[in-house]
């Protein structure tokens, strides 16, 4: 050994150590040393020699210590600490690393009484770490580092074994022996982004990043809590490659469309699955609008929006089928895994966060105030120029300043064997449309306990949520105040209609005040917001328990159960004198109560073991699960009888109660068994195999009662096979995988159904689909993960190709079959695309910068619908379905072989034999051609990009996220109707400068009104209202400052920030926000029909920790 003379008496050794410690290099450099040791049944001193030979460490210990005992150590390019852990395992020896020295001592149980220890906590760059938790191991005694990283810890009793643990988010936790020292300076190392990083995968199974054979993108909970949205999923926009996110136009708390790797199912759901702590969540998504005439009865909501984002610890996004295969049919469209916070060891710690923002419309159509009305058409703005308008009307004045305040508190405390976490949060939002309100209150409690040391753990959790929303507008022709706001005639003063009702003494109640005649009975917008009320009250509570038994150090058994119960009451109150399409002269009332009960349970056996001197690693899991969903809806609806505006059951016309459906129930259940096997060879090669067999109740009565989901993957860590250090490559892995997932058909179509009405039982007219097979997706992907320059630079790349078979089609059955409708399997949809992420992170003394780019593209092709000559095996009918059309009033979605899901068509103007637009020579007018559908484009983007930046300097932090959508087209019915009514800026240009029909054809301005009467009715010719939906925006911006702890006597840490969302639209040609949607369904996309504008938000946030 080196410098053997150092092994002297204990007192001399300690003196030399103190002197030497002052001269050593920083601990940060020393602690990064890696060693390779493979020694079995050798003396401890031989391992010490090997560590000293491979590093600059020097051992210091008492000469009476027994270093001749036999130990086993096997590490390959691992930190010294791991080798030391193995060396002292099972002995009475403990170690501590200080600078370039390793101190070995023998455990003793002698108590030396109380002690005060102080010191400073710094990171590996020497910067102070504020707020690090320092805890006496095995107790609740602790403190935290204050200003400049300084701490003081009072320990009630100290012996030779007393240790302190140090934790701080983003840094590796460490343990230190107290010994006789009264000052202990602590150096924390940043958590590695390298090859040994651990990520959460399906079923909550943790795996090393280098072992993954598929693409997983992991983010921390802070990514959705810096710049908040009431539905935290919207905060993932631009941050995850392959994730298409469209926020609902309904505003705060509304649902979000999340599609991964393209639309796969023609008639099924294409939204991603959400999983919390390994357990799939029921979607609880409201029925989505499918056209301009629809108004969903339950408002707009979804279950994932109920979660308090402050409870989120981290998220893993599984965009591919291989990663999600273990979730079976639920995970066919990708999965977002959410890991929630749990209690931490140490004293009671409290975290408080406030986020307050103000919002205003982001993208609005362009309006005119140049021309007023005429006596011939008083409701349209095609009159003469306004010389001195009494009031310059700006539709934006209708909108109020939106307000959102979020408050949350989290409390954590615990010992080494028992930790508790509690949180409470409130979200109170006032939308930009008057009388639009959203309030949510969350409570959660979680306790983790070790029942038997090193053997049995129990994790219990419970949550409660209460939510209220009112008037969550999406878009459409009915119950939409924006139609009246946008089309209101120029020159008139809308302010007189703010008093939207007047008392009618003869009738004995107030009536709507509105003196204008519009198309389709458009109403006073202020009446719509105050007297056509859509209210939703929801309560949701969950309980979950996880019991885990560590049978041995390589075998565990675990079981989980979660119950998720939701109850919602939804009412619609239409007051007397509203549009008679929806109410009698006395009004209309709807009252529905929905309850949803979800039960999930699973059991899992896990083996994690190594063989052949750790050359071969094995990770095996075998499990089974049960998912049970029960849903019921009861209620009533009808016109009010003799008493106006009395919204009760007894005041509804009795004939309405007899004819309207009042009950809806369903019960779904799936049972599954599954297994995973991962084999690793010397940390270089990994083989991953999974299998799941699922029995779904939707397959009852069919020939295939189960669905089998296999997957296989292979990854090779090139950087472990060859020395790439001279090339600057820190880590390089290539991977490939294949998987099959599927979707069962919709419920209750495989058996014979009956309906009961008025005591009469009738048979449904749909043929029982006993022949149906589950929809099936086959997916292949290949990718690469690389890190460069000591992990400062990273890049991930994935190419995928999927094919979805056995699509479900419903067709008109021939009369000879005795049925009106029948189902069959056919069709094939292909998606291929690329997901790429690149990033850089570095620190220069007090300044750090982290930047990342995301890129994704997807190409969708319909390979086949129902080929000619297909025979339905049940009805025996020949089925030929070369194309499918879905019309939304002048906007047609068409599916056909060779096309893509999302292709849409519109009608245009009649042309002559030469292709020129036909203009009548007598009237100088054009004519629409409603029978010819013109391909307008596809609503999906060709590519999506994101650029995220985080800067920090001496307590100041700056974050900025830009994202872009390239490609895709949509239509604006809003713009068409504004042109027709003469309220758009485009109508001014048309009457003053004429209308460009084509490159060589110009229509004079005198014909503008007639032209827009023909082309701008919104239900017909939309060819002139197709827009590119390319856009680039500043999605998020935050500027924060960590207040000095000395301001609070080192008792608290505080951060204040300015935050903004959707602050700047750098590029956008559409008169609406292309990233907003009126529906989370597949087809009602890219269409604007007086859609509520998206919002720009700006505000501040405050975070306190004490």
Domains and CATH numbers, the chain: 4-188 (2.60.40.1120)
Contact between 1019 and 1071 under an 8 Å Cβ cutoff? The reply is no
Distance CA 154, CA 113 (A): 11
Contact between 589 and 648 under an 8 Å Cβ cutoff? The reply is yes
Distance CA 482, CA 55 (A): 72
SS3 792: coil
Distance CA 540, CA 562 (A): 13
Scan for tokens 């009305």, then name that residue.
373
Which pLDDT score, from 0 to 100, does residue 16 have?
A: 35
Rounded to 10 degrees, the C-alpha dihedral 645/650/653/656 comes to: 110
Q: pLDDT digit string (tens) for 363-385?
A: 999 999 999 988 888 888 999 99
Q: pLDDT digit string (tens) for 1014-1028?
A: 887 766 689 999 999
Which pLDDT score, from 0 to 100, does residue 296 have?
A: 59
Residues 6+ apart with CB under 8 A from 973: 292, 889, 890, 891, 1018, 1019, 1022, 1025, 1087, 1088, 1089, 1090
808: nearest Cα among 797, 798, 821: 821
928: nearest Cα among 1011, 991, 987, 1006: 1011
Contact between 312 and 353 under an 8 Å Cβ cutoff? The reply is no
Six-digit token string for 873? 């095996």
Beta strands at 1076-1077 and 243-248: parallel, antiparallel or unpaired: parallel
Scan for tokens 């949550």, then name that residue.
463
Distance CA 1022, CA 447 (A): 58
Six-digit token string for 341? 């916070």
Q: Report helix angle 973-980 to 1008-1015, nearest 10.
A: 140
235 φψ region: left (φ > 0), alpha (ψ -120 to 50), beta (else): alpha
Q: Which residue stretches of the chain have pLDDT < 70?
A: 1-32, 107-112, 125, 140, 147-148, 169-170, 191-197, 286-299, 389-391, 517-520, 658-662, 755-759, 889, 1018-1020
327 φψ region: left (φ > 0), alpha (ψ -120 to 50), beta (else): alpha
SS3 999: coil
Q: Give whole-number Cα distances, 551 to 401, 454, 457, 548, 930, in Å.
A: 59, 9, 12, 9, 73
Contact between 419 and 345 under an 8 Å Cβ cutoff? The reply is yes
Distance CA 80, CA 64 (A): 24
Q: How many helices (H) and strands (E) does the chain have?
A: 12, 59
Which pLDDT score, from 0 to 100, does residue 619 have?
A: 94
Distance CA 731, CA 719 (A): 5
What is the secondary structure of 264-282 as a DSSP string?
--SSS--PPEEEETTEEPP
What is the secondary structure of 945-998 as a DSSP string?
EEEEEEEEETTEEEEEEEEEEE--EEEEHHHHHHHHTT-BHHHHHHHHH-EEEE
387 exposure class (CB count in 10 Å sphere: 0-12, 13-18, 19+): exposed
Residue 472 pairs with which residues in a beta bridge? none
204 φψ region: left (φ > 0), alpha (ψ -120 to 50), beta (else): left
126: nearest Cα among 188, 179, 173, 74: 188
Strands of 251-373 (E only): list them.
256-260, 273-276, 279-280, 312-318, 335-340, 346-361
Beta strands at 1053-1068 and 775-788: parallel, antiparallel or unpaired: unpaired
Which pLDDT score, from 0 to 100, does residue 656 have?
A: 77
Distance CA 1024, CA 143 (A): 67
Six-digit token string for 944? 């999506």
Residues 6+ apart with CB under 8 A from 949: 849, 850, 851, 958, 959, 960, 961
Distance CA 502, CA 1070 (A): 39
Which pLDDT score, from 0 to 100, does residue 290 have?
A: 64
Reported pTM: 0.84
């Amino acid at each position: 050994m080196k410098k053997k003379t150092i092994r002297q008496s204990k007192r001399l050794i300690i003196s030399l150590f103190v002197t030497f410690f002052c001269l050593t290099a920083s601990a940060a450099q020393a602690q990064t040393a890696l060693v390779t040791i493979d020694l079995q049944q050798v003396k401890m001193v031989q391992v010490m020699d090997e560590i000293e030979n491979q590093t600059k460490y020097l051992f210091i210990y008492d000469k009476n210590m027994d270093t001749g005992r036999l130990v086993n150590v096997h590490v390959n390019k691992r930190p010294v600490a791991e080798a030391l852990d193995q060396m002292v395992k099972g002995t009475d020896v403990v170690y501590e690393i200080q600078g370039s020295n390793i101190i070995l001592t023998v455990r003793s149980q002698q108590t030396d009484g109380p002690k005060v220890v102080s010191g400073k906590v710094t990171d590996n760059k020497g910067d102070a770490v504020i707020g690090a938790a320092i805890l006496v191991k095995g107790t609740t005694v602790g403190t935290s580092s204050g200003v400049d990283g300084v701490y003081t810890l009072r320990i009630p009793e100290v012996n030779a074994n007393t240790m302190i643990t140090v934790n701080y988010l983003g840094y590796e936790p460490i343990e230190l022996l107290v010994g006789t020292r009264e000052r202990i300076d602590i150096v924390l190392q940043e958590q590695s982004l390298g090859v040994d990083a651990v990520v959460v995968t399906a079923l909550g199974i943790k795996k090393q990043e280098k072992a993954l054979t598929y693409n997983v993108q992991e983010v921390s909970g802070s990514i959705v809590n810096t710049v908040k949205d009431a539905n935290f999923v919207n905060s993932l926009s631009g941050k995850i490659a392959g994730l298409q996110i469209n926020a609902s136009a309904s505003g705060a708390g509304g649902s979000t469309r999340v599609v991964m790797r393209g639309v796969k199912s023609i008639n099924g759901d294409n939204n991603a699955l959400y999983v919390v702590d390994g357990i799939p969540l029921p979607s609880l998504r409201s029925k989505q609008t499918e056209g301009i005439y629809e108004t969903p009865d339950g408002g707009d909501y979804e279950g994932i929006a109920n979660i308090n984002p402050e409870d989120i610890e981290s998220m893993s996004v599984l965009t591919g089928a291989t990663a999600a295969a273990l979730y079976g049919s639920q995970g066919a469209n990708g999965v977002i895994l959410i890991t929630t916070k749990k209690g931490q060891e140490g004293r009671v710690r409290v975290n408080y966060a406030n986020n307050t923002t103000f919002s205003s419309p982001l993208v609005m159509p362009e309006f005119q105030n140049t021309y007023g009305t005429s006596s011939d058409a008083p409701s349209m703005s095609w009159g003469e120029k306004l010389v001195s308008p009494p009031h310059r009307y700006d539709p934006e004045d209708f909108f109020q300043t939106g307000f959102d305040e979020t408050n949350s508190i989290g409390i954590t405390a615990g010992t080494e064997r028992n930790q508790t976490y509690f949180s409470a949060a409130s979200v109170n939002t006032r939308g930009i449309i008057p009388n639009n309100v959203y309030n949510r209150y969350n409570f959660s409690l979680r306790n983790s306990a070790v029942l038997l040391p090193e053997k049995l753990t129990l994790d219990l959790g419970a949550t409660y949520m209460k939510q209220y929303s009112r008037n969550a507008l999406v878009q459409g022709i009915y119950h939409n105040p924006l139609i009246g706001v946008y089309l209101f005639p120029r020159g008139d003063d809308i302010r007189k209609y703010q008093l939207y009702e007047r008392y009618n003494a003869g009738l004995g109640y107030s009536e709507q005040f509105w003196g204008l005649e519009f198309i389709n009975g458009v109403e006073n917008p202020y009446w719509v917001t105050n007297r056509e009320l859509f209210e939703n009250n929801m309560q949701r509570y969950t309980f979950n328990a996880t019991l885990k038994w560590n049978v041995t150090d390589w075998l565990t058994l675990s079981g989980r159960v979660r119950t998720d119960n939701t109850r919602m009451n939804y009412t619609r109150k239409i007051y007397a004198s509203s549009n008679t399409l929806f109410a009698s002269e006395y009004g209309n009332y709807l009252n529905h109560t929905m309850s949803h009960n979800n039960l999930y349970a699973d059991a899992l056996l896990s083996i994690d073991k190594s063989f052949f001197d750790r050359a071969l690693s094995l990770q095996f899991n075998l499990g089974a699960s049960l998912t049970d969903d029960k849903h019921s809806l009861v209620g009533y609806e009808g016109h009010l009888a003799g008493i106006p505006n009395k919204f009760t059951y007894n005041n509804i016309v009795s004939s309405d109660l007899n004819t309207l459906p009042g009950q809806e129930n369903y019960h779904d259940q799936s049972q599954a068994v599954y297994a995973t096997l991962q084999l690793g060879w010397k940390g270089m090669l990994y083989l991953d195999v999974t299998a799941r067999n699922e029995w779904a109740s939707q397959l009852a009565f069919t020939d295939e009662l189960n669905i089998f989901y296999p997957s296989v993957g292979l990854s090779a860590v090139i950087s472990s096979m060859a020395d790439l250090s001279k090339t600057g490559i820190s880590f390089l892995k290539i991977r490939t995988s294949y998987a099959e997932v599927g979707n069962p058909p919709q419920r209750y179509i495989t058996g014979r159904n009956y309906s009961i009405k008025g005591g009469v039982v009738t048979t449904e007219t749909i043929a029982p689909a006993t022949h149906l097979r589950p929809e099936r997706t086959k997916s292949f992907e290949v990718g690469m993960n690389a890190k460069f320059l000591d992990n400062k630079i990273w890049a991930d790349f994935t190419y995928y190709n999927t094919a979805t078979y056995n699509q479900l089609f419903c067709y008109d059955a021939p009369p000879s079959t005795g049925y009106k409708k029948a189902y069959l399997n056919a069709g094939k949809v292909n998606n291929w695309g690329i997901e790429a992420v690149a990033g850089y992170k570095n620190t220069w003394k007090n300044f750090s910068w982290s930047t990342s780019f995301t890129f994704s593209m997807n190409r969708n092709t319909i390979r086949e619908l129902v080929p000619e000559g297909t025979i339905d095996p049940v009805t025996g009918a020949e089925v030929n379905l070369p194309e499918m059309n879905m019309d939304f009033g002048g906007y047609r979605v068409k599916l056909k072989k060779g096309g893509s899901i999302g292709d849409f068509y519109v009608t245009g103007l009649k042309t002559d034999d030469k292709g020129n637009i036909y203009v009548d020579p007598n009237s100088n007018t054009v004519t629409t051609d409603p029978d010819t559908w013109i391909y307008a484009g596809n609503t999906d983007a060709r590519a999506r990009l994101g650029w995220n930046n985080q800067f920090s300097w001496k307590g100041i932090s700056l974050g900025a996220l830009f994202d872009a959508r390239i490609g895709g087209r949509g239509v604006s019915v809003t713009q068409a109707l504004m042109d027709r009514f003469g309220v758009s800026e485009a109508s001014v240009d048309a009457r003053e400068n004429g209308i460009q029909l084509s490159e060589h054809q110009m229509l004079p301005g005198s014909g503008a009104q007639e032209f827009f009467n023909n082309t701008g009715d919104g239900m017909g010719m939309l060819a002139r209202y197709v827009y590119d939906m390319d856009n680039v925006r500043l999605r998020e911006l935050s500027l924060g400052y960590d207040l000095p702890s000395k301001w609070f006597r080192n008792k608290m840490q505080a951060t204040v920030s300015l935050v903004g969302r959707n602050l700047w639209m750098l590029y956008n040609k559409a008169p609406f926000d292309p990233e907003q949607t009126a529906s989370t369904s597949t087809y009602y996309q890219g269409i604007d029909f007086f859609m509520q504008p998206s919002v720009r938000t700006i505000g501040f946030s405050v975070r306190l920790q004490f």
